[in-house]
Each structure stands twice: as structure tokens, then as C-alpha cells.
Amino acid sequence: MSSTYLITGGAGFIGSHLAESLLADGKTVQVIDDLSTGSLQNLQSVLDHPRFTLTVDTIMNRQLMADLIDRADYVCHLAAVVGTRRVLESPINTIHNIVVGTSNVLELASEKGKVVYVASTSEVYGKSRDLPFTEDGDLVLGPTNKGRWSYACSKAIDEYLALAYHWERQLPVVVGRHFNTVGPRQSARYGMVLPRFIEQALAEQPITVYGDGSQRRCFCYVDDVVWAIKRLVTRADNYGKVFNIGACDEITILDLARLVKDKARSSSKIVFVPYDVAYDDNFEDMVRRIPDLRRLQEATGYRPRTGLAEIIDRIMELQMASAA
């Protein structure tokens, strides 16, 4: 019998790719999404699949979630507020939906004895300078009067709660800290840097770099992230652990803008926008984010397979095809 997966936030960027991949593997997939940031367009290729069902609702609906979790073997909890701009604009919603939503998922899954994957973020490392970031390293968050840290703090609480359910109630749960996942279907609407640069370059608009562009990031293709999630959630040896998921090749945001401009053969100017103009005074940035991937590699054999140049080419090709 085919295993059944419930994906919360499954109409989103990562969730829709995970749904497609699981269906291709012969699995049965349930998705719940309130479509606040997810999109039916993301699921266009699977909406009519006989092993796929979509429920448009919120994970705050406990009775509905209890029914969906009861029918699942694995729960992949990806639902969360998306993008720095939404976090800063709606901090109450950010904190409430992340913490209460995850609490609902973990409590209901614990009652049913289901396996849970909790998607976390590299944001939880905060301002730590102990690079590369290791899963057992200290988390160094900024002050509470900077709303930028509300997302990281909420996700850290999710991790504490997930691991508490594992230790106290033996819930089979695994946490993945995602590092700058990118790829097709990622929206520029919520401040995501790569789709924003690509959209601006293709439209011959100014490419807006926040700060001085010296921030360094490692970008990981969504298919590589999906590959890791599928292997982490099915191995009992991984339960009760946290795993970094990402790539290790660093690039500055300024060099990323230059690379996108070059690949798009764009005449766009690169324009620097101070943080206080982009986000008011409510923002602090992380200078570098580099994951230590040894734990993930040892557990799954993981290696990022898609380089940044190829990622940009794929996204551009799809955007140009959809605009034609």
C-alpha cells in the first residue's frame, strides 16, 4: 500500500515541488493550504492526479487537521509566513501562526503516532559568527525591538517544541533548517532576493540591492531540498535531530545581482537601497549564512546537485516562456 503524506503549506514554493516528487514516487499526497501565499497555479500539474487531494483551509482548524493527520503516515509541516516583508508588516500574525500552528500539528500527530517533518530556517542562527553553522551551535538572536527577529525566534520555538515532543512523548519528528532555497515558482512578492533580481533584470528595471551588497549567502535548488526531506522523514535514525539543508558555495548579494544581470543580458542598473529605506528601522541583517552539511551528508548521502548558474538559467527560461 502506498504511503500517504500530508503537506501543510503544500501550495507554496517548496511544498508544491515536494507534492510533485512524492506523487512521482507513487505516494498519496494530501495538501492543506490557506492560499495566503501559496497558489493553485503551483499545483496545476497535480490537481487532477488520482492520488492527490487539496484542502483549502488553515492549520488552525483543529478538527480538520485531526482528520487529515489521521489519514496520513507522514506529516511534512511547511506552512509558515513567507518573506521578510510579511514578517515585518505582520509580526503578531507571524508569531501566532508559526507557534500555534506548529503546536497544533505536533499535538495532533503525537496523539496519532505519526511521523513529522518540521521545516525550520537558517534564520535561527541569528547573528552568530561561528561559521559554518552547525546544528549544535549557539543561536544568537537580536533584540526584541527589531521585528526582523520575530520570525527566527518563532521558528526556534517550533524546534524546541518539536524536540520536546520527541523526548517527552516519543514523537518521531525531524527538523530541517533550510538555507536560502530557490527555484521555479518562488515569488518575488515577499522580498525573496533571487526571483526579485531575475524579475527586475528581465524587465530592464533597476536591480535593487539592499544594504551594500556585501552580505554572503549560499543558495540551494528546491529539488535538492525535496530530495533531502524525503530521505530524512523515512529514516528512524533521524528522528529527534536537527539537520541543515542547503548548499555551501557562497556569493555576495552584489555579485548575485551582477550574475543575474549578465545572464539576462540586461541593461538594468544595479541600485543600492539602504535598509532603513527598504524596511524602516525595524531590520537587522545576517552578514553570512553558511551551513555545515556533514550531519545531513552522513545521514542521507546528500550532495547539492545544482549550481547557482544553472539555477538562474532554469528560472529565467521558465519566466521567459510564461511571458511569451
Amino acid (one-letter) located at 271: V
151 counts as catalytic: yes
Domains in the chain: boundaries: 4-183+219-246+289-305
Model pLDDT, residue 284: 80
Count CA within 13 A, CB hemisphere, residue 252: 10
pTM of the model: 0.95
Model pLDDT, residue 302: 98
Model pLDDT, residue 324: 63
- Give per-residue pLDDT as tens, 210-238: 999 999 999 999 999 999 999 999 999 99
| Sequence-separated (6 or more) residues with CB below 8 Å from residue 250 | 216, 217, 218, 288, 290
Model pLDDT, residue 83: 62
Angstrom distance (rounded) from CA 44 to CA 71: 23
Model pLDDT, residue 84: 64
- Tell me whether residue 188 is exposed, middle or buried, using C-beta atoms within 10 angstroms of its C-beta: 0 to 12, 13 to 18, 19 or more: middle
Q: Of 5, 151, 190, 221, which residue is the catalytic one?
A: 151
Q: What is the mean pLDDT of the chain?
A: 94
- Tell me whether residue 236 is exposed, middle or buried, using C-beta atoms within 10 angstroms of its C-beta: 0 to 12, 13 to 18, 19 or more: exposed
Model pLDDT, residue 188: 80
Model pLDDT, residue 320: 83
For the chain, residues with pLDDT lower than 70 are 1, 83-86, 282, 324
- Give per-residue pLDDT as tens, 115-171: 999 999 999 999 999 999 999 999 999 998 888 888 899 999 999 999 999 999 999
- Name the CATH topology of 4-183+219-246+289-305: Rossmann fold (3.40.50)
Angstrom distance (rounded) from CA 173 to CA 164: 10
